[in-house]
Amino acid sequence: GLMGMVEIVPLTIFGLYGGVLADHVDRKKMIWATEFATMVATVALLVNALQEKPNVIWLFVITAIFAALSGLKRPSQDAILPRLVSHEDLPAASALMSVRWQVAGIIGPSIGGVIIAHFGASAGYLTNTVMLILSLSLLWGVSAVPPLTQRTAPSLESLMEGIRYAIGRKDLLGTYIVDLAAMFLAMPMSLFPFWADEIGAPWALGLFYSSITIGAALVTLMSGWMLNYPHHGKAIVIGALGWGFAIMAAGLTDSLPLIIACLIIAGAFDQVSALFRGFIWNQSIPDELRGRLAGIEMLSYLLGPLGGQARAGGMAALSSLRTAVVGGGLMGMVEIVPLTIFGLYGGVLADHVDRKKMIWA
């Protein structure tokens, strides 16, 4: 919980600033520089782990640095995709990127857990350092992605320009609000260790953590039908409602198989919403604003889960674990219902997509 709190402020500040930088500098260089800094921070963790008495405070400091670097890098990383593939291929490319995230989310922690269990934390940090060196070498071969137009120096006014654009696009603003509400009100991940213990299955904690990711990965692998589905707004709302309902259902049973099944379904619905949000973002936001909007997007899908974990823990402490899970899922569904008007913005979205197609051409 403390680690999550340490991350929030750097993510917020540097996420917004990273979005501004992504529209003013070469995005490839920005990604490479922050990845290199991440490698240096990982080496610092390795050195700390090799000490006879590792400094716990140093873990919090490096965690804050990681959050700041993630905030600087992620907007450029998200905004670079529309410059590397054609407009028509963006939905398929977005789905492929999601597969990459889901596979990494399943395989990475699994391999890391095995390495740490058998060889210790220092071996885990060393492995991560080697992987980052490999990442840097691969990034070196990516083409330069400079701004399409000459930009002024990054400034607060530049950030405000992006915020005004987001507020002026009700369809776009809806994607941020739907995701933020669903994650803040229904994310149960901080309760997983206690949940597994409460049903007498502490050995199944890994299943709890991987279930949502598995559901997301399954949907991504079967996402071909989404490429031609025109009702993006409705799909996002349905995905958010399904997420809340599945979380609520998981909290109503003590059966481990049913809980895991519900969490897999929750992950699947959340991924439906995530993929269609990505389609909207990539296909309709002008490139000159893409970095700043990516910074805002990042805050919506990172701060929501972080806040949701705090919400779940506090609610469970004041009532019970079941109340926190069931109540969170129910609140998520109730909160999403007024936002279903977002599904009516198809015409507005189509105008922005057509305009970006013309610019691309």
pLDDT digits (tens, 9 = 90+) for 320-352: 999 999 999 999 888 877 666 555 444 445 455
pLDDT above 50: residue 222:
yes
> What pLDDT is attached to residue 309?
83
Tokens of 324: 């926190």
DSSP symbol at 226 = G
Q: How far apart are alpha carbons 295 and 77 in whole angstroms?
A: 10
Nearest Cα neighbor of 29 from 86, 68, 96, 80 is 80
CATH number of residue 126's parent domain: 1.20.1250.20
Average pLDDT of the residues in 219-227: 81
Phi and psi for 129 in degrees, rounded to 5? -60, -45
Print burial letters for 206-243: b (CB count within 10 Å at least 16), e (below 16).
ebbbbbbbbbbbbbbeebeebeeeeebbbbbbbbbbbb
More confident residue, 42 or 282: 42
pLDDT above 60: residue 249:
yes
Percentage helix, strand, coil, to 5, in the chain? 85, 0, 15
pLDDT band at 45 (very low <50, low <70, confident <90, very high): very high
Return mean pLDDT, the chain: 84
> What pLDDT is attached to residue 1?
58
Q: How much is the pTM?
A: 0.76
> What pLDDT is attached to residue 223?
78
**Considering the chain, what percentage of its residues have pLDDT values greater than 90?**
30
> What pLDDT is attached to residue 302?
75
Average pLDDT of the residues in 56-65: 92
What contacts 284, CB < 8 A, 6 or more positions away?
Answer: 172, 349, 352, 353, 356
Average pLDDT of the residues in 223-246: 86
**pLDDT (tens digit, 9 = 90+) per residue, 109-133?**
778 878 887 888 899 999 999 999 9
> What pLDDT is attached to residue 151?
66
pLDDT above 60: residue 360:
no
**pLDDT (tens digit, 9 = 90+) per residue, 181-209?**
888 899 998 899 899 999 998 888 878 88
Using an 8 Å Cβ cutoff, are 113 and 2 in contact? no
pLDDT band at 361 (very low <50, low <70, confident <90, very high): very low
**What is the number of domains present in the chain?**
1
Maximum mean pLDDT: which of 25-29, 77-81, 275-279: 25-29
Using an 8 Å Cβ cutoff, are 274 and 267 in contact? no
Q: How far apart are alpha carbons 258 and 150 in whole angstroms?
A: 56
Domain assignment of residue 102, given as a range: 2-144+152-360
Determine the longest span between alpha carbons in the chain, in angstroms. 63
**Considering the chain, what percentage of its residues have pLDDT values greater than 70?**
92
> What pLDDT is attached to residue 357?
46
**pLDDT (tens digit, 9 = 90+) per residue, 22-39?**
888 899 999 999 999 999
> What pLDDT is attached to residue 150?
66
pLDDT above 80: residue 275:
yes
Average pLDDT of the residues in 219-233: 80
